Amino acid sequence: MALVTTLRRLVQNSLREYSRKASAVTWPTKQRSFSIGTQPLRSDNKVTVNFINRDGEKITVKGLPGDSLLDVVINEDLDFDGFGACEGTLACSTCHLIFDEEMYKKLGPITDEEMDMLDLAYGLTDTSRLGCQICLTKSLEGMVARVPESVADIRQTKDGSS
Amino acid sequence: MEGANKCILNHVRRHCGTLIVNAGFPRTVMAVTQGTALKTLDVNLSRVFAGGCGKASLSSCSPKVCIVGSGPAGFYTAQHLIKARQDVEVDIYERLPVPFGLVRFGVAPDHPEVKNVINTFTQTAKHSRCSFYGNVNVGKNVSITELQQAYHAVVLSYGAEGNRSMGVPGEDLAGVYSAKDFVGWYNGLPSCRELSPDLSCETAVILGQGNVALDVARILLSPIDILKKTDITQPTLEALAESQVRRVLIVGRRGPIQIACTIKELREMVNLPDTRPDMVAADFDGVKEALKDLPRPRKRLTELMLKTALEVPGEKEQERRSKASRTWGFRFFRSPVEVLAEPGHSRIAGIRLAINKLEGSGDGAQAVLTGEVEDVPCGLVVSSIGYKSLPIDPSVPFDSRKAIVPNTMGRVKQAAGLYCSGWLKTGPTGVIATTMNNSFDTARSILEDMDSGTLDMSAAKPGSQSISALLEKRGVKPVTFSDWEKIDNVEMKRGESRGKPREKLLTVEEMLHVAWT
């Protein structure tokens, strides 16, 4: 019976550790994992990014210049349900992020192609962008990006059947 | 103790995810699964100590969920369940030998990025707590009732395999196809292999102006050089290479402001090489004035349409248009009333369209008949007015008016333990991301019911053990996910020599042959 107690204790301890890690795991689609910028890998080069998740919690991570915000979410294993379904190929709107006015102005120009997909995002605002199209630069240090309520695209026709 | 330790080790190795031997206790093991470890070790240790090593089954405590359908709805529901609870096991049943539903058979061949979600689905399928069973026809090889006996919860995610009919005379003439079948044909759906649409006419008319209608138009008019690098099927490529179709009209009941397609697909038509737009200016009366009140997405879409239809093009664009060999255009305020046959033949000669006017404005505007009609000569009609779900099993409630399974938040009405997700739940509209959200919602309902006791988890369920035995008795052999990977590899290899991402296998027989060789 000592065996059982020992095992139980061991398993309990390790489970606590494992489940803490496991719950943070998403199903990151590692197709676009590391994208390393052209700068050398020094930590003072990194850009701090703050995400506000759907529960209102602030998550602070770092990324490299040249990384897209989608890259950062994937590399840091951030658990945003359904984020980045098309893996950054401008074929969906699930990496939709909302910024404050000032930061939005710093984000650079938006292409027609991005706007076409962004237009379909749920909860679209005037300061919305797609995370896969925003690339980090030092000037965006400390940026705050809010993950909006839902990831649904709005391409539904109201044909009266639902 | 040696024998018992070895037994535990072997048992744990067989059933648990990871195994770590702790140095401090030479003969004990730490089994780190995703949550089942403690419970199952408890259970099995007592059996081990009670009467030696037995084949302790893990079926006692883990909730078992069965999902019918392996398209986005099925996979996203599975993904959410597996992630949320470390003890849930999910089995996905699919009628065809190949998974992924409309991602494989619906998404256009020239939209490969949309299919990237397959990578996420593959990760889910290969998860230790997920199993895929292809080549199993639920409703025929096994009943819903039998599934409910074997699983704690059954989720219906089998989508919409039927289509809405126009309900007009002449609909059954040769030369008239549903978009569902046409798309199935160019995407290699086995049941559509024999469609062989006649593309020897000059004009094709598509009824409906959603994204599926635009996909069909684009595939009919795209230069072969572009299509031949996609995963479009070889027979389709050959048929399109011989196609005489030079003009495609995309017809809708209402006006430009009500059009159902989205801007990305419209832009693709505008930019399609070797084509020029052909619209009716009068269709756009009053549209410019209405622009200012439209929300941004609708405004941008309408602006692009106006520009394409009315603006006098610059020199370069004028030249491009004059050289184009193919035309496409929207026709508004038209509803089909009859498909016309060639006199004395059963082949289509044209389509009679009723002319409508709009009552009201915006999304809620209604098309009202004026009494006038117009005949359009054509040799091909594709009806793209909506997919439709079909009932799978008499024991499952079905709303035949809405063609969905009646439900509240994914819980099937008057059917405990039965859920639905995807198009079967909400109707056949929305893109993959919409279905994702829809499926996550159903998964949340299931998890809530597990927590609250609404779903009875007290008794163990045999899950795939009993269903596999049933299927074997009935002579049905499931295709596993690794079997599918064999099919996948064969398709990709065949495609390589042709410069395509894959060359799809076109019959169930071929698929099974590859799967099981």
Query: For residue range B370-388, what is the model confidence (pLDDT) as tens digits?
Result: 999 999 999 999 999 999 9
Residue B427, marked binder:
no
By C-alpha distance, the chain A residue nearest B79 is A27
d(CA A114, CA A36): 23
d(CA B431, CA A151): 11
Query: If you average pLDDT over each of A12-16, B59-63, B281-285, which comes out highest?
Result: B281-285
The DSSP symbol for B52 reads S
What confidence tens digit (pLDDT) does each residue in B410-432 have?
999 999 999 999 999 999 998 88
Report yes or no: B442 and B420 within 8 Å, Cβ to Cβ. Answer: yes
Report yes or no: B229 and B309 within 8 Å, Cβ to Cβ. Answer: no
Q: What is the pLDDT of residue B235?
A: 98
Residue B159, marked binder:
no
By C-alpha distance, the chain B residue nearest A12 is B38
Enumerate residues 6+ apart whose C-beta is below 8 A from B332: B251, B252, B254, B255, B256, B280, B283
Shortest distance, CA A8 to any CA of chain B (angstroms): 7
Structure confidence at residue A3 as a pLDDT band (50, 70, 90): low
Structure confidence at residue B460 as a pLDDT band (50, 70, 90): very high
* Model pTM score: 0.84
Residue B423, marked binder:
yes
Mean pLDDT, chain B, integer: 90
- Which residue is it, tokens 């990305």? B264
Report yes or no: B348 and B342 within 8 Å, Cβ to Cβ. Answer: yes
- Domains by residue range for chain A, with CATH: 45-144 (3.10.20.30)
Residue B94, marked binder:
yes
* Cβ atoms < 10 Å from Cβ of B1: 10
By C-alpha distance, the chain A residue nearest B48 is A4
Residue B169 pLDDT exceeds 80: yes
Residue B14 pLDDT exceeds 90: no
d(CA A64, CA A53): 21
pLDDT, mean of residues B228-234: 98
d(CA B164, CA B71): 21
Q: Is B120 at the interface with chain A, CB within 8 A?
A: yes
pLDDT, mean of residues A93-103: 96
Structure confidence at residue A2 as a pLDDT band (50, 70, 90): low
Report yes or no: B373 and B354 within 8 Å, Cβ to Cβ. Answer: yes
Helix (H, G, I), strand (E, B) or coil at B169: coil
Could you tell me whether strands A96-98 and A128-130 are parallel, antiparallel, or unpaired per DSSP bridges? antiparallel
Helix (H, G, I), strand (E, B) or coil at A62: strand
What confidence tens digit (pLDDT) does each residue in B29-77 have?
333 333 443 343 433 333 333 332 223 334 446 899 999 999 999 999 9
Structure confidence at residue B346 as a pLDDT band (50, 70, 90): confident
Q: Which of B20, B80, B434 sits opposite A152 (nearest CB)?
A: B434
Structure confidence at residue A9 as a pLDDT band (50, 70, 90): low
Here the tokens at position B184 are 């199935």
Determine the distance from the C-alpha atom of residue B397 to the mean position of all C-alpha atoms in its chain, rounded to a whole number.
Answer: 22
Q: Is A125 at the interface with chain B, CB within 8 A?
A: no
Structure confidence at residue A5 as a pLDDT band (50, 70, 90): low
Q: Do B22 and A86 touch (CB under 8 A)?
A: no
* Cβ atoms < 10 Å from Cβ of A36: 12
Helix (H, G, I), strand (E, B) or coil at B364: helix
What confidence tens digit (pLDDT) does each residue in B294-340 have?
999 999 999 999 999 999 999 999 999 999 999 999 999 999 999 99
Q: Rounded to the nearest 5 degrees, what angle is found at the Cα of B476, between the Cα atoms of B471 and B481?
A: 95
β-bridge mates for residue A60, sequence order: A50
Q: What is the pLDDT of residue B281?
A: 97
Shortest distance, CA A88 to any CA of chain B (angstroms): 9
**Nearest Cα to B162, choosing from B379, B395, B404?**
B404
Radius of gyration of chain B (CA): 27
Helix (H, G, I), strand (E, B) or coil at B361: coil
* Cβ atoms < 10 Å from Cβ of B26: 8
**Nearest Cα to B208, choosing from B249, B170, B252?**
B252
Report yes or no: A84 and A73 within 8 Å, Cβ to Cβ. Answer: yes
d(CA B340, CA B476): 45
By C-alpha distance, the chain A residue nearest B430 is A156
Structure confidence at residue B435 as a pLDDT band (50, 70, 90): very high
d(CA B282, CA A54): 47
d(CA A154, CA B301): 14
Q: Is A152 at the interface with chain B, CB within 8 A?
A: yes
Q: Is B403 at the interface with chain A, CB within 8 A?
A: yes
Chain A residues with CB-CB distance to B428 below 8 A: 161
How deeply is A135 buried, as exposed, middle or buried, from its count of CB atoms within 10 A (0-12, 13-18, 19+)? middle
Q: Rounded to the nearest 5 degrees, what angle is found at the Cα of A61, between the Cα atoms of A74 and A48?
A: 120
Q: What is the pLDDT of residue A43?
A: 61
Q: Do A119 and B429 touch (CB under 8 A)?
A: no
Residue B381, marked binder:
no
- Enumerate the H helices of B341-463 as residue ranges: 423-426, 432-452
- pLDDT over 70 percentage in chain B: 88
Residues 203-262 on B with a CB inside 8 Å of A are 210-211, 260, 262
d(CA B234, CA A64): 44
- pLDDT over 90 percentage in chain B: 85
Report yes or no: B154 and B136 within 8 Å, Cβ to Cβ. Answer: no
Residues 26-85 on A with a CB inside 8 Å of B are 26-27, 29, 31, 81-82, 85
| Strand residues in chain A grouped as ranges (E) | 47-52, 58-63, 96-98, 128-130, 143-146
Q: Do B260 and A157 touch (CB under 8 A)?
A: yes
Q: Is B280 at the interface with chain A, CB within 8 A?
A: no
Here the tokens at position A41 are 């890998």
d(CA A41, CA A37): 9
Q: Report which of residues B413 and B19 the model is more confident about.
A: B413
A69-73 CB contacts, 8 Å cutoff, 24+ apart: A69/A95, A69/A97, A69/A131, A69/A132, A69/A134, A69/A136, A69/A145, A70/A32, A70/A95, A70/A131, A70/A132, A71/A32, A71/A33, A71/A34, A71/A35, A72/A136, A73/A131
pLDDT, mean of residues A66-74: 97
Q: What is the pLDDT of residue B433?
A: 86
- Which residue is it, tokens 């995309």? B250
One DSSP character per residue, B233-302 reads -HHHHHHHHT----EEEEE-SS-GGG--S-HHHHHHHHT-TTEEE---GGGGTTHHHHGGGS-HHHHHHH
pLDDT, mean of residues B214-235: 98
CA atoms in the 13 A half-sphere facing the CB of B338: 9
Chain A residues with CB-CB distance to B267 below 8 A: 112, 116
pLDDT, mean of residues B178-206: 97
Radius of gyration of chain A (CA): 19
